[in-house]
């Protein structure tokens, strides 16, 4: 047995104006779960503590709570000293008990056709990954789209896809899915991150439903324009100034000795909309002895099309891009766009390694810049944090590059998944939330690594938004200026 | 009608709900019963949890036994079930089970259940213990969850009214002694009176009254206790199945079910001396022997010093391809990974855990109990599984008898009697008394669970059982304290656990033989050849208790 102290959110709407945290010290066994700590509070401190539980083995989905802010099943998550246990971010009935009924009621029921027979093995295998849901509602509680739209919730859309895949079902699930907010999902993958069953709802449900919607001609008009642009120009973004590729040679040699070599996958945003950031990155590479090879025959990675279900020309894009780099014998392809990086890593099978710029810089090590005299915060791009599992590297560089680094709670900015173009009011509302979070930190600059986030957040806040590579370059310039004046 | 209406802080009924059929319980049996009953009239389903999240069906992993192939036969399934049950089963109920299981499985498939399918486009089946044919249909190792999701889909297509998180406290009777509904408490402890023409009890099992149990938190024996208080007769309550393989550590995860499918897929049981010990207990069937036998084998290995340091034995699947473990046993893989064990690379440690109560309400094949107006189905009933249940027969039981209970309750005539107001007053007074109690239900529960595990567990003896009965009765007499109205359901639950425990112990004292799951180390205890025992069911009710004797052909 051991003692642990935990803080538990208590709230009785009959008497409390708002929830408050109560601290308890309880005895638990070695290896106890959060649920057992709650039992200890209930049994030995306050029997009126309201919390749900049932199976105790991660299968019924009754006991999801937030542990230190993150959803988890109380029966599976290990109890730790100092933890804070709060209800999911859903309407609270009492203490840790939330109102699950209204969400569960939105989850569609199968309508089997009268003559429905046994599905084939392949059909069953396709449904299974979407069938493990235990309706704990963790995904619903964290979904950013839900905060600003009528989106029914990730698991509700999961069920629409599960039913679409079932030959026995007779419902029109695509129409239902669109009504339930199919185009509201930013594909930020926060739902996947908190799902105790690791169900890939964005990839296996949302994007697939959008694909079927596309085949039925139900893709949003703005998304269709993007697809047309890619088809006509090979690029998903129209350029307003000389493109990055027009401004650079195919090989950029470093200033000093060559310490390494990477291919650079530019991406449409850097190429056409914000080329200066990519040019800044080239300066950083040069300074750190990394040769950059830039095949000019590369095209759009296809991300804006995959996220919006417009996959008919994807194979062609994939082939062109892989060939552009493979034919030049490149081992490592670097991306600076989080969306391109996640797509190349997750939606491609490449004969070369794909690395985010921060991974490349971390691998080779870099010259330290002078610290900029600013307080900076960092916005995690969804496609970097969850799409590529990268959170530490950018922070390590940032701590070296600025006077003060402050954290900001991570949440999708609203630019992804075709939402910025397709549902601009949602993107704007999520952007406004980012603005508020930025202001909360008191930062002088918001740093990020994704050009979509950078561009979108810059529109939603008056605080300057910069790419990490630009910050590094500014630090080098400051260092040079200091040296010159010394 | 005037209800108990007294001073502040006194219980009163806030809501009266009328229906043709009241179903109590939202597991596989209850939901199946409600679906069927709704064909005959209005149905209300009272669920202690959020429907779909409670009960043990949701947690059931391994599968559903049904004869589907030409090479298999109803007769063999029948014989396997009887022989596995040490011929204590009620043959008429077994007949119904094995005959109707295939059609009930097909219902589920028609309604959208995602069972695993073979390359030949048939429902896949795996071998389970004590059966001569691999007839256990499955959806990975989340078969029960798949079933309950499908059943709730189907229920949604009916007009059934669901009362979630409504804890039924007691069955209500009319002046003729027929069950006429029930009284329940909602989440806040507010009273609800359900009035019905027929009532289906589908409250599941109750091995939560043991310290080490696979049951969900809802498996507290409420139905056994409520029916007993209402005057129904129960049989074979001593027959508690200890599942051979429950987790052994960490401490708070003890008892968590490790599905029989692990052995069905080829898992091996090995003791701390690296010996595949089942060869000494059942050399033919080895790991796939019946559950009672495997559980006692493991317990014996541990008792005799050949167990692991955590007090279990090894269950090993590391010789199976990782891909097979990932697809056939994903829940096991996930659960053990959460506790730091990768079952693809290292063995699990397991020991027996209280799993299923074979005994329960005496029913007819039409699911009629011994009191009018009350039907029962699923684990709350007795007689189907005899002295030991075969893995995969419980899910089949829920569907076969759930459907029957719903059907015959649905066909019941309109109730003529009235719910006795004095009874309601007395009931509410009883609930009020919890505010005046002295001891926390949590303390009584802890004590009860240890008593049952230590003195009425896998190996029993008469002196221990007698001590257990005294202890359980003493605990049942403690005056439980409710800290708020919302705590009253918890008091009622602990009261039910005490009653269930006392029924188990009383029946265990009544049976003078070793049979199936019931084994005593007493010197004078007799073990008969299976099928040759002169004893039938033990029975217990408010009015009588005893053991049936029967003629056995020489």
Which of B53, B207, B326 is the mutation pick for testing A, counting most A CBs within 10 A? B53
Query: Where residue B10 falls among pLDDT bands split at 50, 70, 90?
Result: low
The reported pLDDT for the residue numbered B553 is 66
pLDDT at B104: 98
For A254-269, what is the mean pLDDT? 95
Cα B351 to chain center, whole Å? 19
Q: Are A270 and A334 in contact (CB under 8 A)?
A: no
Contact A181/B at CB under 8 A: no
Stretch A307-330: mean pLDDT: 96
A223 touches chain B (CB under 8 A): no
How much is the CA Rg of chain A, to the nearest whole Å? 25
- The 3-state DSSP composition of chain A as helix, strand, coil percent (nearest 5) reads 45, 15, 40
B207-237 pLDDT, tens digit per residue, is 999 999 999 999 999 999 999 999 999 999 9
Question: CA B218 to CA A459: how far, in whole Å?
Answer: 53
CA-to-CA separations, B117 to A119, A124, B124, B125, B139, in angstroms, rounded: 8, 7, 5, 8, 9
Q: Please provide the average confidence, as pLDDT, over all residues in chain A.
A: 96
Of the partner residues A36, A52, A168, the one whose CB lies closest to the CB of residue B252: A36
Give the pLDDT band of residue B5 (cuts 50, 70, 90): very low
Nearest CA in chain A to B446: A43
Q: pLDDT of A220-231, one tens digit each?
A: 999 999 999 999
Residue B4 has pLDDT above 80, yes or no: no
pLDDT band with cut points at 50, 70 and 90 for residue B114: very high
In whole angstroms, give the CA distance from residue B440 to residue A42.
10
- Note the residue count of chain B: 554
Domains of chain B: 13-239+358-410 (3.50.50.60), 245-353 (3.90.700.10), 421-536 (1.20.58.100)
B195 backbone dihedrals φ, ψ, rounded to 5°: -120, 130
Neighbours of B463 (CB within 10 A): 10
Q: What is the pLDDT of residue B554?
A: 58
pLDDT tens digit string along B485-503? 999 999 999 999 999 999 9
Helix-strand-coil split of chain B, %, nearest 5: 35, 20, 45
pLDDT-derived band at B421 (thresholds 50, 70, 90) equals: confident
Check A31 against B335: CB less than 8 A apart: no
CATH hierarchy code of domain A103-215:
1.10.1060.10
pLDDT of A346: 95
Cβ within 8 Å of residue B94, ≥6 positions away: B78, B81, B82, B85, B384
Q: Quick one: B159 exposed, middle or buried, by C-beta within 10 A (0-12, 13-18, 19+)?
A: exposed
**Quick check: B9 pLDDT over 80?**
no
Yes or no, beta carbons of B486 and A33 under 8 Å apart: no
pLDDT for A308 beyond 70 = yes
Contacts of B164 in chain A (CB under 8 A): 101
> How many angstroms away from the CA of A97 is the closest CA of chain B?
11
Distance CA B5, CA B24 (A): 26
Residue B3 pLDDT greater than 70, yes or no: no
The CATH topology of domain A2-99 is Ubiquitin-like (UB roll) (3.10.20)
Fold match between domain A2-99 and domain A103-215: no
Q: What would the pLDDT profile of B474-489 be if each residue is shown by its tens digit?
A: 999 999 999 999 999 9
Query: Is B121 among the catalytic positions?
Result: no
pLDDT (0 to 100) of residue B11? 62
- Give mean pLDDT, residues A127-146: 96
Nearest CA in chain B to A75: B253
Q: Where are the domains of chain A?
A: 2-99, 103-215, 225-363, 364-485
Share of chain B above pLDDT 70, in %: 97
Residue B1 has pLDDT above 60, yes or no: no
Angstrom distance (rounded) from CA B46 to CA B373: 17
Residue B263 appears among annotated catalytic residues: yes
pLDDT tens, residue by residue, B235-276: 999 999 999 999 998 999 999 999 999 999 999 999 999 999
Q: Which fold has domain A225-363?
A: Rossmann fold (3.40.50)
> Closest to A48 (Cβ–Cβ): which among B119, B257, B486?
B486
pLDDT at B251: 92
- Where do we find the tokens 């003896």? B461
Is the alpha carbon torsion for A367, A372, A377, A382 positive or negative? negative
User: Which residue in B243, B296, B328, B355 is the catalytic one?
Assistant: B243
For chain B, the average pLDDT equals 94
Mean pLDDT confidence for A236-249: 92
ipTM for this model: 0.94
Cβ A107 vs Cβ A130: under 8 Å: no
User: Is residue B137's pLDDT more than 90?
Assistant: yes
Domain A364-485: which topology?
Rossmann fold (3.40.50)
Chain B neighbors of A28, CB-CB under 8 A: 252
DSSP B45-81: EE-SSSTTTSTTTTT--S-EE---STTS-HHHHHHHH
Binary contact (A76, B338; C-beta < 8 A)? yes
Q: Do B216 and A55 touch (CB under 8 A)?
A: yes
Measured distance CA(A92)–CA(A9) in Å, rounded: 11
């Amino acid at each position: 047995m051991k003692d642990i102290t935990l803080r538990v959110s208590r709230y009785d709407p009959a008497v409390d104006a708002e929830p408050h945290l109560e601290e308890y010290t309880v005895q638990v066994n070695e290896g106890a779960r959060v649920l057992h700590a709650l039992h200890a509070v209930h049994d030995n401190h306050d029997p009126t503590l309201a919390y749900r539980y049932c199976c105790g083995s991660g299968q019924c989905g009754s006991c999801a709570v937030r542990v230190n802010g993150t959803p988890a099943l109380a029966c599976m998550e290990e109890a730790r000293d100092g933890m804070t246990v709060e209800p999911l971010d859903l309407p609270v009935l009492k203490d840790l008990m939330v109102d699950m009924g209204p969400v569960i009621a939105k989850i569609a029921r199968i309508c089997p056709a009268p003559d429905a027979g046994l599905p084939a093995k392949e059909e069953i295998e396709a449904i299974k990954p979407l069938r493990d849901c235990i309706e704990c509602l963790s995904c619903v509680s964290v979904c950013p789209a839900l905060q600003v739209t009528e989106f029914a919730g990730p698991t509700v859309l999961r069920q629409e896809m599960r039913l679409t895949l079932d030959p026995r079902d007779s419902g029109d699930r695509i129409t239902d899915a669109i009504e339930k907010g199919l185009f509201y999902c930013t594909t930020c993958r926060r739902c996947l991150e908190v799902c105790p069953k690791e169900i890939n709802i964005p990839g296996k449900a949302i994007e697939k439903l959008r694909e079927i919607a596309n085949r039925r001609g139900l893709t949003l008009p703005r998304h269709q324009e993007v697809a047309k642009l890619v088809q006509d120009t090979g690029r998903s973004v129209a350029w307003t100034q000389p493109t990055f590729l027009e401004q650079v040679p195919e090989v950029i040699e470093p200033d000093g000795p060559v310490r390494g070599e990477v291919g650079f996958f530019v991406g449409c945003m850097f190429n056409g909309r914000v080329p200066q950031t990519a040019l800044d990155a080239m300066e950083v590479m040069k300074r750190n002895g990394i040769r950059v090879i830039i095949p000019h025959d590369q095209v759009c990675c296809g991300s804006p099309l995959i996220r919006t279900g417009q996959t008919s020309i994807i194979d062609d894009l994939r082939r062109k891009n892989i060939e552009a780099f493979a034919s030049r014998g490149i081992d490592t392809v670097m991306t600076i766009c989080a969306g391109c990086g996640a797509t190349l890593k997750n939606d491609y099978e490449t004969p070369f390694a794909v690395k985010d710029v921060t991974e490349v810089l971390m691998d080779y090590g870099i010259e330290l810049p002078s610290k900029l005299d600013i307080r900076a915060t960092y916005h995690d791009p969804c496609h970097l944090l969850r799409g590529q599992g990268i959170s530490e590297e950018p922070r390590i560089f940032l701590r070296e590059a600025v006077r003060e680094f402050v954290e900001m709670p991570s949440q999708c900015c609203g630019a992804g998944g075709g939402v910025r173009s397709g549902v601009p009011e949602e993107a704007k509302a999520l952007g406004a939330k980012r603005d508020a979070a930025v202001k909360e930190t008191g930062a002088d600059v918001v740093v990020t690594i994704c050009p979509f986030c950078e561009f979108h957040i810059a529109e939603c806040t008056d605080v300057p938004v910069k790419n990490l590579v630009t910050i590094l370059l500014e630090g080098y310039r400051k260092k040079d200026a200091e040296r010159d004046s010394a | 009608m005037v209800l108990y209406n007294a001073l502040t802080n006194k219980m009163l009924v806030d809501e009266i709900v009328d229906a043709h059929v009241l179903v109590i319980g939202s597991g596989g049996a209850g939901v199946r019963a409600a679906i069927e009953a709704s064909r005959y009239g209005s149905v209300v389903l009272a669920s202690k949890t959020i429907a779909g999240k409670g009960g043990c069906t949701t947690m059931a992993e391994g599968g559903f036994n049904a004869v589907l192939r030409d090479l298999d036969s109803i007769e063999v399934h029948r014989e396997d079930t009887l022989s596995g049950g040490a011929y204590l089963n009620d043959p008429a109920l077994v007949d119904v089970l094995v005959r109707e299981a295939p059609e009930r499985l097909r219902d589920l498939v028609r309604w959208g259940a995602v069972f695993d399918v073979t390359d030949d486009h048939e429902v896949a089946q795996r071998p389970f213990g004590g059966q001569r044919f691999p007839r256990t249909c499955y959806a990975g190792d989340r078969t029960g969850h798949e079933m309950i999701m499908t059943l709730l889909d189907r229920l949604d297509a009916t007009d059934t009214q669901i009362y979630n998180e409504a804890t039924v406290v007691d069955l209500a009777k009319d002046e003729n002694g027929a069950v006429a509904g029930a009284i329940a408490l909602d989440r806040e402890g507010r009273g609800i009176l359900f009035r019905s023409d027929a009532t289906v009890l589908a409250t599941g099992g109750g091995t939560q009254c043991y310290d080490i149990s696979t049951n969900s938190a809802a498996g507290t024996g409420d139905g056994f206790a409520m029916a007993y208080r209402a005057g129904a007769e129960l049989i074979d309550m001593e027959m508690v199945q200890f599942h051979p393989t429950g987790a052994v550590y960490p401490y708070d995860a003890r008892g968590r079910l490790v599905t029989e499918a692990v052995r069905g897929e080829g898992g091996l049981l090995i003791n701390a001396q690296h010996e595949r010990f089942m060869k000494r207990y059942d050399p033919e069937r080895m790991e796939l022997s019946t559950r009672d036998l495997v559980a006692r084998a493991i317990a014996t290995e541990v008792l005799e010093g050949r167990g692991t340091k955590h007090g279990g034995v090894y269950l090993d699947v590391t010789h199976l391809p990782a891909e097979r473990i990932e697809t056939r046993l994903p829940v096991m893989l996930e659960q053990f990974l959460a506790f730091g064990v990768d079952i693809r690379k290292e063995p699990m440690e397991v020991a027996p855990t209280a799993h299923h109560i074979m005994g329960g309400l005496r029913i007819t094949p039409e699911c009629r109990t011994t009191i009018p107006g009350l039907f029962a189905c699923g684990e709350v009933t007795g007689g189907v599984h005899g002295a030991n249940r075969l893995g995969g027969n419980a899910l089949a039981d829920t569907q076969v008898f759930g459907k029957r209970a719903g059907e015959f309750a649905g066909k019941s005539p309109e109730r003529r009697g009235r719910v006795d107001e004095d009874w309601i007053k007395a009931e509410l007074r009883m609930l009020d008394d919890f505010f005046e109690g002295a001891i926390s239900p949590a303390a009584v529960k802890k004590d009860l669970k240890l008593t049952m595990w230590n003195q009425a567990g896998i190996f029993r003896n008469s002196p221990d059982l007698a001590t257990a009965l005294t202890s359980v009765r003493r605990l049942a007499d403690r005056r439980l304290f409710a800290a708020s109205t919302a705590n009253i359901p918890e008091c009622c639950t602990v009261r039910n656990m005490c009653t269930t425990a006392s029924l188990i112990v009383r029946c265990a004292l009544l049976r003078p033989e070793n049979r199936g799951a019931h084994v005593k180390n007493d010197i004078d205890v007799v073990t008969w050849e299976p099928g040759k025992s002169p004893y039938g069911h033990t029975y217990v009710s408010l009015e009588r208790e005893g053991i049936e004797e029967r003629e056995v052909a020489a």
